[in-house]
Amino acid sequence: MTDVWRFLFEQRWALSLLKGSAVTLGLGLLGMCLGLIIALPLAIIRWRKVRVVGRLVLGYTMVVRSIPGLLIIYLIFFGSVQAVDSIGEFFGFQAAVRSAYPFLMGMLAIGIISSAYSVEVLRGALQTIPEGLIEASKSLAMPRSAIYLRIVLPLMLRNALPGLNNVWQMTIKDTSLVSVVGLGELMRTAALAAGISRSPLVFYLIAGAVFLLITWVSQRLFAVCERHLNRGFLEAR
């Protein structure tokens, strides 16, 4: 036990575990945001029942949700994804793209996975919006953009929050999968430390505890948000 203690603090592995946790959190947050950015237009397409495209979106979510995340990550990391480089070249910061390559790839993988789940959550939330509200705003001659920004999206957000909470819990846990291809997030750091110190139990338990902490704190935050968005509705129910 003293060995582990020395390893953690004298060799400063505690610090790198902390760094790894930060990477995990950043990866989860950015992946979730990317997922939402992809999911919102797709959810609106599904909601408005756009012909053909709506079917394609349904196919996309079905396929991504049936394939293991690990397989998607292998595809993105092993497959020579030159797309990222060419995007970087276009904007003129290829070097930055290269140095952040595993992080960007990880973010892309996590974003794709979480987007498939977010589409369904957002679509469900959109469907609960009464058509009458939209008709009413149309009859007030509100422009389309205003209807979406001021009526549809706020109502959607309130209804989607519990579902998004679930997606977030899943996303933050999925970030651990990126460790298998060597991005230095929490799980990878724990695995390196476990290998070098030869005491895997302690380090994987630490990793588990950090994940528990992250999920617990974010549950609390979601509860606060939910209460905030539902103020004024509670009495009506």
Among 181, 222, 225, 229, binds another protein (CB under 8 A): 181
The residues near 39 (Cβ < 8 Å, ≥ 6 apart) are 114, 115, 116, 118, 119, 121, 122
Q: What three-state secondary structure class fits 143?
A: coil
Among 141, 143, 216, 232, binds another protein (CB under 8 A): 216
Residue among 161 and 207 whose Cβ is closer to another protein: 207
Stretch that binds another protein, among 38-46, 48-56, 182-190, 222-230 (CB under 8 A): 182-190
Q: What three-state secondary structure class fits 32?
A: helix
25 part of the interface to another protein, by CB under 8 A: no
Cα distance between residue 207 and residue 168, in whole Å: 18
68 part of the interface to another protein, by CB under 8 A: yes
9 part of the interface to another protein, by CB under 8 A: no
CB of 71 to another protein, least distance (A): 6
Among 26, 34, 173, 222, binds another protein (CB under 8 A): 173
67 part of the interface to another protein, by CB under 8 A: yes
Cα distance between residue 97 and residue 93, in whole Å: 7
Instruction: Please give the sequence-ordered ranges of beta strands (E in DSSP) within the chain, or none if there are none.
Output: none
110 part of the interface to another protein, by CB under 8 A: no
124 part of the interface to another protein, by CB under 8 A: yes
223 part of the interface to another protein, by CB under 8 A: no
CB of 52 to another protein, least distance (A): 21
Tokens of 93: 């910061």
Cα distance between residue 214 and residue 209, in whole Å: 9
Report yes or no: 110 and 178 within 8 Å, Cβ to Cβ. Answer: yes
Report yes or no: 24 and 183 within 8 Å, Cβ to Cβ. Answer: no
230 part of the interface to another protein, by CB under 8 A: no
Among 58, 142, 194, 225, binds another protein (CB under 8 A): 194
DSSP-derived secondary structure for 50-115? -TTHHHHHHHHHHHHHHS-HHHHHHHHHHS---HHHHHHHHHT-HHHHHHTHHHHHHHHHHHHHHH
Q: What three-state secondary structure class fits 1?
A: coil
Among 201, 233, 235, 236, binds another protein (CB under 8 A): 201
Tokens of 191: 């695995």
205 part of the interface to another protein, by CB under 8 A: yes
Q: Where along the sequence are the contacts to another protein (CB under 8 A)?
A: 11-13, 15-16, 63, 65-71, 74-75, 77-82, 85, 91-99, 101-102, 120, 124, 169, 173-177, 179-182, 184, 187, 190-192, 194-196, 198-201, 204-205, 207-208, 211-212, 215-216
